[in-house]
């Protein structure tokens, strides 16, 4: 039985790259008393009107319990406030405070800087192909086509 070289394994490359990106963002965020997860939340809250808490989890692909913990920490740090949703008394709107808006701008700057630096080293054509590949992988997973009719076949 031959094993795939981990450096040629798609999932290994995705995981290793994401771990490096997450570490890089967390290092930057920690300099501002934040985390990558908090920065991600800040970037997904509507700047002016806020965002219903029930919409944030699905928007970011995050579980409610993880999101709750992050929101509590952000509230404690004065980045967000929770307001009753005028359209639905059962839910709340998460709004950015002045401090949260400042942190959001810092986060946005790091995201732009990362993307611009990558674009210096990777051509538009290569990036287009990267986005096609990641879109295809996501679609195959979402449509549950990866393990369809495989009967758990081993390599």
How many CB atoms are closer than 10 A to CB 131? Answer: 10
* C-alpha of 145 from chain center: 24
Instruction: Quickly state the pLDDT bin for 150 (edges 50, 70, 90).
Output: low
How many CB atoms are closer than 10 A to CB 82? Answer: 15
Spatial separation of the C-alpha atoms in residues 93 and 117, rounded to whole Å: 35
DSSP class of 154: -
pLDDT, one tens digit per residue, over 17-68 is 999 999 999 999 999 999 999 999 999 999 999 999 989 999 998 898 999 9
CB 80 within 8 A of CB 95: yes
DSSP class of 85: E
Report the predicted TM-score, pTM, of the whole model to 2 decimal places: 0.83
CB 49 within 8 A of CB 101: no
pLDDT attached to residue 1: 39
pLDDT, one tens digit per residue, over 63-87 is 989 999 999 999 999 999 999 988 8
Instruction: Quickly state the pLDDT bin for 117 (edges 50, 70, 90).
Output: very high
Q: Is the pLDDT of residue 98 over 60?
A: yes
**Phi, then psi, of 27 in degrees rounded to 5:** -60, -45
pLDDT attached to residue 3: 61
Q: Which of 49, 21, 44, 48 has the alpha carbon at shortest distance from 113? A: 21
Spatial separation of the C-alpha atoms in residues 46 and 121, rounded to whole Å: 32
Name 79's Cβ contacts closer than 8 Å, sequence gap at least 6: 38, 42, 96, 97, 99, 100, 103
For domain 21-142, the CATH class is: mainly alpha
Q: How many percent of the chain have pLDDT more than 90?
A: 80
């Amino acid at each position: 039985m031959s094993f795939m070289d981990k450096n040629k394994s798609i999932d290994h490359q995705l995981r290793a790259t994401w771990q490096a990106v997450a570490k890089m963002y967390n290092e930057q965020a920690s300099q501002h008393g934040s985390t990558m997860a908090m920065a991600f939340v800040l970037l997904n809250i509507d700047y002016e009107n806020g965002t219903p808490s029930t919409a944030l989890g699905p928007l970011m692909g995050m579980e409610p319990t993880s999101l709750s913990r992050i929101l509590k920490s952000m509230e404690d740090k004065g980045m967000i406030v929770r307001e009753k949703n005028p359209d639905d008394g059962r839910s709340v709107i998460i709004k950015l405070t002045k401090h949260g808006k400042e942190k959001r701008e810092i986060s946005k700057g790091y995201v732009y800087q990362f993307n611009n630096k990558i674009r210096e080293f990777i051509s538009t054509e290569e990036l287009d192909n990267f986005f096609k590949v990641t879109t295809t992988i996501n679609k195959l997973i979402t449509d549950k086509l990866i393990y369809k009719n495989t009967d758990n076949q081993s390599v």
